[in-house]
Each structure stands twice: as C-alpha cells, then as structure tokens.
Amino acid sequence: MAVSRRHPLTVLALGFVAVIWGFPTLWVLYATFASPRGGFTLGNLAEAFASAPFAQYAVNTVLIVGGLLIMQTIFGALVGFVLARYDFPGKSLITGLFLLQIVVPVYAILIQEYEIVQGLHMLNTKTGIMLPYLVSGIAVLSFRQAFRAVPRELEEAARLDGYDTIGVFLRVYLPRAVPAALAFAVISVTYHWTDFLWPLIVTNTASARPIVVGLAMVAEASESGLQWNLLAAATAIVIIPVLVVFASGTRRILSAFASTFDW
Amino acid sequence: MSTTVVSEAEPEPQPGGPAQPAPRRRRPFTVLGPYAVLALPAALVVGFVAIPIVQTAVRSFDLLGVRGQVTGFGGLSNYRALFSQPLFLISLKNTLVYAAASVVLCVVVAWLLAQLLSARFGASRPLLVSVFSPTVMPMIAAANIWLYFLAPRIGLFGQLLGAIGVHGSNLLGEPGSALGVLVALFVWKFAPYFALFIMAGLQAIPQSVREALRTEDPTGRYAFRRVVLPMLAPMLAFVTTMALLYSVETIDSVYVLTQGGPNNGTSLVMYYLYQLGFNYFSWGPAAALSALLMASLSTLSGLSLIGLERRAFHWQ
Amino acid sequence: MRSKSMRSVLAAVGAFALLAAGCGGAAAPASTGASGSTGSTSGSASSSAQAGSKTVAFDFDYPVGVSGPLATIMTNLVNQFNSTHPGIKVTPVFAGSYQQTLAKVETGIQAGNPPPVAVLNHTAVFDLLHLQAIQPLDSIVQQGDFYPAMLKPEVQGHYWSVPFQRSTVVLYYNKTLFQKAGLDPSHGPTTLSQLVSDAQTIQQKTGVTGIEIPSDGTVYWEFQPFAIDQGSNLAGNNGTTTYFNSPAVEKGLQFWMDLSHKYKVEPAGILPWNTVPNDFEAEKTAMIVHSSGSLASILQNSKFQVGASFMPKGTATDVTNLGGGDFYLMKGISPSVQTAAITFIKWMTAPDQAASWSMQTGYIAVSPADYKVPAMVAYTKKYPQALVAPAQLQYAEPELSTYQLNQVQDIFDSAVQSVLDGQSPIKTALDKAQQQAQAVLAPYKT
C-alpha cells in the first residue's frame, strides 16, 4: 500500500494508467473538433446536432432521470424512515420485498416488464421507461441506514418541543440524511442516464427516446457505411457535459460511488 | 402527497403537548401509519418486481403464439426448443468465457489500480478524471469510442500498429479477438469503478494496524496474506460477484461493436435474449431463456448482497 | 379532509394493485386486440373534426440508412404532401434502422395499433403476412409503371408493397488508379477472371489493395450475386425454400475465399460494411463491392475519378440483386385513414417525388418514367454513374426473403463468416446452415 510518491516506477505506472484510460476519449474529442484541413472546427458537432434530435433526446433524459431521482428519493426517505423507526407486524416481509427489488434486476424480468408497460399502453412514453424503477431498494436501505444513525434523544427533544411525527421527520431526520441522499443521487443519476436496453425496447420514436439510445443508433450500420466524423461528434455531445460535471466535482462524486453500498 | 400520509393518523399537535406521554401519542401512527406510508411503494414493487417474477416463471411453461399470446400449456417445450437452438449453446459458451475472463481481469486490474491510486487519491485531478471518465460515461459512449479507435485501417489503433509494421489488424473481424475486445472494454469501463470499493476497503484498515505492519513486516508479504487479505475478503467477494453480475448482463457493447458477430463469436446470452424476443419474435424460447436468466441473475445479485452482509450489512 | 385523503390513498393503492395484478395475469399482447388502442399514446391514426372540414391524421414510420440528411429530406417531402393535400396530415416518424423499424411495427401490430403506413424492407413480406398485418396493394402497383424486377416475387397472388427506396449491388472502381496501372478506366472488370487480373495488376503497379467486399452485417446481400452468377439464388420464392448448400453457393463462396487466399487480392478475414467505403475513398483499395445507394457519399468523399459498373460475371449473363425498402399498408385501420394512406403512397412513389428522393439519397428511382423527369435528366447527365443501377435492373434477382427472416439471414451470414475466418470448410458450413434454416422454416411449410 505504501507506494512511494516519488518512485520513478510509480510515476511511470501512473502515466501509463492515465494514457490507457484517458487517451481514447481524448482522441474522440480531438477528432470531433479537429478540422480535416487543420485547425479547430465546430462543423462536426453542428452536423451531428442536425443528424438527430439530440436536444430532444437530452430533454427526455433530464426528465426521466430527474423524475426518477425525485420519486426514488421520496419513496426511499419515507420507507426508510418507517423501517428505521417503527415496528409493526409484517415488517420483515416488507423489508424483504424492497430487498427483492435490489436482488432482481430489471434485466432479469425484462420481457414481463415490457408486457406490463405494453398492457398499460405506456410504450414509447417517458413514464413507461420510469415505471419499473420508481421505487429503489438501494434508496430505501441508504435512508434507513442514515435514519438509524440519528440519536433517539434528538427525536425525543423535538417531540418535547411539540413537533408531531411529520415535523420530527422533516426537522430532525431529513437534514441528517442529506449526505446519504446526495450519495444516492449520484448513483441513481449515473445508473439511469447510462441505462440502455430497457429504454431501447420501450421507445419507438424521438418523443421518449433518451440520449444514450439515440447515440447507439448513430453507430448502427447504414446503407452507405458509417459516418465516422458523426459518430465521434455525437459521442462528444453525450460525454462532454458529464465530463465537465465530473471534473468539477471529482472527489465528491468518487466518494459517492464508493459509499453506494454503505448501508 | 405521501408526506401528508405520514400525518394521517397523527392527532393534532396539542399546544400543551409536553404533558402527554410520548408513547400514547405515537400509537395511532404505529398501528396504521406504517402501512399507509408503505402501501404505494410496496404496491409498485409488487407490481413491477414480484408479479413479473412469477409471470416470467409461469410464462416459460406456456405455449406462445406468433404475437406472444398464450395459446396453451406447453410443459417443457419452450426449454426444449431453446436448448435445440445451436445459437443458444454458442451464446452460453461465449458468455462463460467472456464472464470468466472479464471478472478475473477486472478484479486484478481493480486491485492494482487501487494500490496505485490509494497513495495518490487526494492528489491529481487530471489523473482521477482520466482514470474514472469511463466510470461516469454510458457503456454506449465507451463502445462508440472503442469502435472509432479500432476501425480497421482508418482507426488510430490500426494506424499505430501500421506504424510499427503490423498491417491489416482487424480485431473485431475475428471471433476470438472480437470477444477479447469486449473483455478489454469491460475491464476498461468497470475496473476503475470496482477499484473505488477496494480503495474504500483499504482505507478502512485502521492506521495503527498499518503502522504496526510497516515496522514489523517491512516486505509486506506476511501482512498481505494474514492481515490485509482477510480484512478485504468480504469486499473482494462483493466486487467479484458484482463484476460477474455486470458481465452476464452485458449487451450495450455487443450492440454497438459486434452485433453478436463475427460468426456469432460475440453473441452473449443477454444479447441473444434481445434477439429472440425483439428481432426473431421467437417468444417461446425467449420465455424459457428469460426464466433461466432471472434465476441466474437474481442468484448472483443475492450472493453479492450476502457478501456485503458479511462486511457490515444488517437485514433488520 | 384527513380521512378523505386517507381514503383516496387507499383507493389509489387498491386500484394500482388490481391494475398490476390485471396486467400480470393477462399481459398477453394481442389478447386485448385492436380495441386496446384507444387510450394509447403511440396510437397512430386519428380523425379529428377541424373547423368544419375533417382532417385525417396518421403516422408513417420509416427507416433511413443514415439518420442525418435523409431524415430532413423525408420530412420535407412529407411536409410538401401535407401542404398540397388539405384534409390529410401525415406525421413522419423516424424509427431507426430497417430492423428496428420492422421490430417497432411488429410490436405495434402485437399491441393492436400499428402505424397505418410504413416503409419496411421489401423482404419482410413473409413475416408480415404471417402476422396477418398487411393489405395487398395491387391497385397502386398495377396502375404504376414500376420496374418489373422490383415487383418480384409476387407472393400468394398479390403485390403487398410499393417499391420506394431500392438499391442494387454494384462494383465501384478507382478510375485514376486504373489509369496509373495501365488498365482501361472506361469500364470496370466484366468477368470474374478479369476482376482477379485487374486486381493483381493494380497491386503490383500501385501497391494498393485490389478489392474489398464487405462481409459483416448483411453478408448474404453482397454474396447473392456471386451465387446467382453460378446458377442459383439463395432461396426460392415461397418463403420456405432455401438453397444454402447448393453447388452454386459453394462455388460462389469458394471464389470469395480464393480472392483472399489464392489470388491474394483481398485482405483475409471479415471486412466491415462500414469501413469498406472509407477504404475506397482513402485509396486504400482500388475496387469495392457495395450498395448503389452509397454512390452519393462516395462521390462526395473521393478526390479521384469514381467509376461504377455492373458486377463482374463468371457466366454469360449479368447479375445483381435488389435490396431496399417498400411502402406497406397495415390492416385494421379505418376506411378514411386507408383512403388517405393510399393517396399518400401513390403520391410518394409518383415520378416527381420518386425522382427527387432518388437524386437526394442515391436510391434507384422506382419507375423508368422517373428518369425522364427534367431534373433527373440533368442529374444523370452530370453523374452518369447513377444510371448503372437502373441499367442493372433487368438482370436483378430478388433479395433473400423467407419467413423468420432475421433468423434465417443470421444463419447464412454466420456460415459465410465461419468460412472466411477459417473455422469451417465451405461444404460443412453450408450444409449446417441449410439444415438450421430448414429447421427454422419447417413450421411454415404447408
């Protein structure tokens, strides 16, 4: 573990690592902005934007990912609170139900999920994409863990001050779950905006299609072969925003990943 | 809406509240409240997880028509049809090879990365951004980048090889090397992510233990085997099962890079399920494969949770 | 108020549970039938009264090879239709690749609300018939003056689709390199042996690879001319017969292998459909076999004289095969939508529109009349290469088309790839493919 900071081998290894993981992405960004005649160009980017409704894909993605985050957080906080602080008959059964949601990934029951969404006439809608994900077991367990760590005395004190359950929940518990909520937000957003197969089979058209599915279609074979400059530019459109966000909050985002399963 | 539910059974806050004993005040909530709060989320999980699980199992024994409708009871006929498809057996074999290689390499590389980076974790942002950029981007984008990189002749990879005298490299054009590319992409995408968990595990080793080890066992060999490894074992078990789960779920990279080819050499089970269901409309075998995948994926993720439990996980 | 909100929560939960149980129990897609389409968001056809005049509105799903400019061209064309046809409003929906569009239409059929009109691969006819999804379009086809090759084969005594975006397999060659190598640049090789000798000459004189034939994606399509040339197509016209292991297919595949391994004029292994045109444009190969639809982008990206010619042949007659998409009309739509849809299909395939679509996309126009439209005459004068594909049509054979098409095509493609990769001898691979295809098709034989 005690790798020396200055050891030349370490520096070499770090350089190697940076090149292996960073270079392909840099190359695609370079290909996007480098004009074939030399110099800088926005032409590829403009062409990619014109080739598919990326703006609409992006809006769809924001609505889907944002909507899911809100719903998962609300459900997660409420259920987590109840499971952390109340005893009632059937509690372990219900806890097991939310664990089941973690244990059985959507991919494992894909075709049935598809048939349910089809039965609800929600194919090709953003709601249809969101439905199977509305409740997140990971959110429930994260909040439960955060709420458990809140000292009972704080709750008692608040009750003595005249707060009812909802007041205690809002004033005492929720503020102390903010770090867990933020960590969960990173996980949820990363998972859902990169999700591919489920939105692929649910969506038919640009009205509901998220950006990752739109991006995959650019890479598809076509009559006249692939337009490689478009492929690079479309990929750049998708990754530049996330790289900017990541670069500005690198450490916080990384520690959120590491605490994903810190229940 | 749900927040009002919480207050549902709660009596009006009384101005002179403190006089009333707390347990009595909370009782109505304990009787009804939890169920009212849990009803909707639990119903959603029942509707979108529990029922589909049962349906997936049941449907695999039904006879299915051309439009996917149930036409009768078929017993094991769907499973028989599935196992008689040569492509299924090929996909199964591909998936085994792919998953084994991916998981082993991924865990080893993640371990090395964790060693290398834990010394530098607070240090260089460009390094962290470059190593973890694959973690935050979608697999589709990562696969596009690799497609661009590996395109025969015009891709940079081919040009670099050409510069050192190796011509005609076409990694995606041959079944073995195409599967190798998928493995490499998986490791590239997920090893840094798993390294984060291993780093967290390393950091959880108390400072005092580390210092004691450094003085008493400078070579680190004994310490590694007897102290570090046992402390990290549950975390490694968790990372391994997660990697296995992710590798069996792989479809994005296949969709972009190879579409299962060449010569079905990269057809993985998840991709094959997609093909059966949404390209071949071959609902019977698809239903059987769904049930098998459900069983294996759920087992894997259940195992990874048990790995977590051994670390610090509380059921109740 | 409180108890009221409590009741509504419980009611909502109860309703939800019922709903979930309901679809769990009866989620079979077709069980609800077409009646289920009323509340659907992807419901595709509707009639609405607007200020006295009735407007018929419907969706039209189409695939395009490249999502980019072609989507804009299609939207413009449809807008033009809408503005010249008051009372009809067509919404073009770009659904992805051919395969994706077909998948979307099929799921629409299963859910009981297909788009009334779609452009789909013309080879999808058997699967669409099996789903009982399409209506015959005999009247439009018989009134039109389409190239007869595009109407083959007639299935169950009807024409089920109207030709729209078609292409053939052609040979592109680099005229400038031909000249450099001392070959006649006015035409490409006309026979298979000439193909080999030209390729060898070019490799010796210029060092550029002789030829590249793509072998991923839809391999069967580029391969078909080589089999037809030897005497047999890959399949019959009834949707269930395949000839994957016929001697002609064997000979054709042997020639493909010989190009790499015996004559060494083609790189060995599998060449991607997507990069072969790039190699040609970058003068890394002197000849390629590709779709006639690639002409526009090849012309645009090449800095040398581009030649397009018929496929070289090993026997007396020229050969090629057709590919591309046709208009289909779905079943189960209202009479007013049906009338409007037929008007739309007729208009889209009429000479002016067909010529415009062809010029902008590189697809073959569907009728000889299209090539007499003044704009088209001017265009083909400028780009005579665009006349190669229509001239080929009299020799064109139908593209591989069967029931369970995706599966059958994949079986053949994998067999060819296993041979190219050296994993399997020709005879073994083709026998296996034939046997697998017949197993898939057995339930469809009557």
As a whole-number percent, the residues of chain C with pLDDT over 90 amount to 63
pLDDT at C28 over 60: no
Q: Are C206 and C177 in contact (CB under 8 A)?
A: yes
* pLDDT tens digits, one per residue of C422-439: 899 999 999 999 999 999
pLDDT at A233 over 90: yes
Q: Does B280 touch chain C (CB under 8 A)?
A: yes
Handedness of CA C420, C424, C428, C431 (dihedral sign): negative
**Among all residues of chain C, which has the CA nearest to that of B86?**
C436
pLDDT at A159 over 50: yes
Q: Does B85 touch chain A (CB under 8 A)?
A: no
d(Cα B70, Cα C12) in Å, to the nearest integer?
Answer: 30
Average pLDDT over residues C358-377: 92
User: Which of B42, B59, B228 is closest, CB to CB, to A97?
Assistant: B42
* pLDDT tens digits, one per residue of C155-183: 999 999 999 999 999 999 999 999 999 99
As a whole-number percent, the residues of chain C with pLDDT over 70 amount to 87
Handedness of CA A162, A73, A77, A186 (dihedral sign): negative
pLDDT at C20 over 70: no
d(Cα A256, Cα B196) in Å, to the nearest integer?
Answer: 10
What pLDDT sits at residue B77?
Answer: 94
pLDDT at A11 over 90: no
Average pLDDT over residues B160-175: 81
Average pLDDT over residues B2-19: 38
User: Which of A52, A120, A221 is closest, CB to CB, to C274?
Assistant: A221
**Among all residues of chain B, which has the CA nearest to that of C109?**
B67
- pTM for the structure as a whole: 0.86
Residues 284-303 of B with CB under 8 A from C: none
**C298 and A224 in contact by Cβ < 8 A?**
yes
Average pLDDT over residues B184-203: 91
pLDDT at C69 over 70: no
**B69 and C28 in contact by Cβ < 8 A?**
yes
Better-predicted residue by pLDDT, C108 or B63:
B63
Average pLDDT over residues C44-58: 62
* pLDDT tens digits, one per residue of C77-131: 999 999 999 999 999 988 777 877 887 788 788 777 789 999 999 999 999 998 8
Average pLDDT over residues A143-169: 91
Q: Which one of B281, B282, B283 would you mutate to disrupt binding with C, by most C Cβ within 10 Å of its Cβ?
A: B281
Residues 137-156 of B with CB under 8 A from C: 151-154
d(Cα B88, Cα B82) in Å, to the nearest integer?
Answer: 7
Res. A15 pLDDT band, cuts 50 70 90 = confident
Q: Which one of C2, C9, C129 would you mutate to disrupt binding with B, by most B Cβ within 10 Å of its Cβ?
A: C9
Residue C410: CA count within 13 A, CB half-sphere: 22
Average pLDDT over residues C67-79: 79
Q: Looking at C144-289, list the stretches that DSSP marks H as alpha helix, in order from N- to C-terminal side.
A: 175-180, 192-206, 219-229, 247-261, 276-281
pLDDT at C415 over 90: yes
A-contacting chains (≥3 CB pairs under 8 Å): B, C
Better-predicted residue by pLDDT, C23 or A178:
A178
Res. C148 pLDDT band, cuts 50 70 90 = very high
d(Cα A144, Cα A157) in Å, to the nearest integer?
Answer: 21
**A225 and C276 in contact by Cβ < 8 A?**
yes
pLDDT at B213 over 80: no
What pLDDT sits at residue B207?
Answer: 75
Res. B69 pLDDT band, cuts 50 70 90 = confident
**Among all residues of chain C, which has the CA nearest to that of B2?**
C9
**Among all residues of chain A, which has the CA nearest to that of B127?**
A18
What pLDDT sits at residue C40?
Answer: 36
Domain C168-321+398-444, classified CATH 3.40.190.10, yes or no? yes
What pLDDT sits at residue A261?
Answer: 63
| A118-153: burial string, b at 16+ Cβ within 10 Å, e else | bbbbbbbbbebbbbbbbbbbbbbbbbbbbbeebeee
d(Cα B113, Cα B130) in Å, to the nearest integer?
Answer: 13
pLDDT, averaged across chain B: 82
Better-predicted residue by pLDDT, C200 or A43:
C200
What is the residue whose two structure tokens read 């994949």? C410
**Domain ranges within chain A, ordered by starting residue:** 47-258
pLDDT, averaged across chain C: 85
pLDDT at C11 over 70: no
Lowest mean pLDDT among B231-240, B282-291, B301-310: B301-310
**B34 and A88 in contact by Cβ < 8 A?**
yes
Question: Do strands C53-63 and C45-50 pair parallel, antiparallel, or not at all (unpaired)?
Answer: antiparallel
Better-predicted residue by pLDDT, C316 or C384:
C384
What pLDDT sits at residue B3?
Answer: 33
pLDDT at C222 over 80: yes
**Domain ranges within chain B, ordered by starting residue:** 79-312
Better-predicted residue by pLDDT, A215 or B308:
A215
What pLDDT sits at residue B312?
Answer: 46
pLDDT at C400 over 50: yes
Lowest mean pLDDT among C29-33, C219-223, C300-304: C29-33
Domain B79-312, classified CATH 2.40.160.10, yes or no? no
Query: Tokens in use for C8?
Result: 């509504």
> How deeply is C52 buried, as exposed, middle or buried, from its count of CB atoms within 10 A (0-12, 13-18, 19+)?
exposed
From 3.30.390.30, 3.10.20.520, 3.40.50.620, 3.40.190.10, which CATH number describes the C49-166+323-396 domain?
3.40.190.10
SS3 state of residue C59: strand
Res. B18 pLDDT band, cuts 50 70 90 = very low
Q: A47-258 falls under which CATH superfamily?
A: MetI-like (1.10.3720.10)
Average pLDDT over residues B289-310: 85
Distance from CA of A135 to the nearest CA of B (A): 6
Closest CA to A256 of B308, B200, B305, B307: B200
What pLDDT sits at residue A199?
Answer: 95
SS3 state of residue C286: strand
d(Cα C44, Cα C244) in Å, to the nearest integer?
Answer: 40
Lowest mean pLDDT among A109-113, B105-109, B200-204, B211-215: B211-215
What pLDDT sits at residue B12?
Answer: 40
Query: Tokens in use for C321?
Result: 């095969």
Average pLDDT over residues A149-167: 90
* pLDDT tens digits, one per residue of C309-344: 999 999 878 889 898 899 999 998 899 999 999 999
Better-predicted residue by pLDDT, A1 or A152:
A152
* pLDDT tens digits, one per residue of B111-120: 999 988 876 5
Lowest mean pLDDT among A25-39, B153-167, C316-330, C350-364: B153-167
pLDDT at B263 over 70: yes
- The residues with which C242 forms a beta bridge, in sequence order, are C235
What pLDDT sits at residue A226?
Answer: 77
As a whole-number percent, the residues of chain B with pLDDT over 90 amount to 47
**Among all residues of chain B, which has the CA nearest to that of A165?**
B7
Lowest mean pLDDT among A177-181, B211-215, C263-267: B211-215
* Element containing residue B196 per DSSP (H, E): helix B175-203
Kindly list the residues from chain A whose CB atom is less than 8 angstroms away from the CB atom of residue B181.
none
pLDDT at A5 over 60: no
Res. C360 pLDDT band, cuts 50 70 90 = confident
Question: Do strands C320-329 and B62-64 pair parallel, antiparallel, or not at all (unpaired)?
Answer: unpaired
Lowest mean pLDDT among A130-134, A201-205, B216-220, B248-252: B216-220
* pLDDT tens digits, one per residue of A26-58: 999 999 998 877 789 898 898 888 778 899 999
Better-predicted residue by pLDDT, C191 or B301:
C191
Q: Looking at chain A, list the stretches that DSSP marks H as alpha helix, in order from N- to C-terminal side.
A: 8-33, 43-51, 54-85, 91-103, 110-119, 126-130, 137-148, 152-160, 165-168, 174-176, 178-194, 197-202, 211-218, 228-248, 250-258
Better-predicted residue by pLDDT, C198 or B235:
C198
Res. B273 pLDDT band, cuts 50 70 90 = very high
* pLDDT tens digits, one per residue of A176-219: 999 999 989 998 999 999 999 999 988 877 889 999 998 988 87
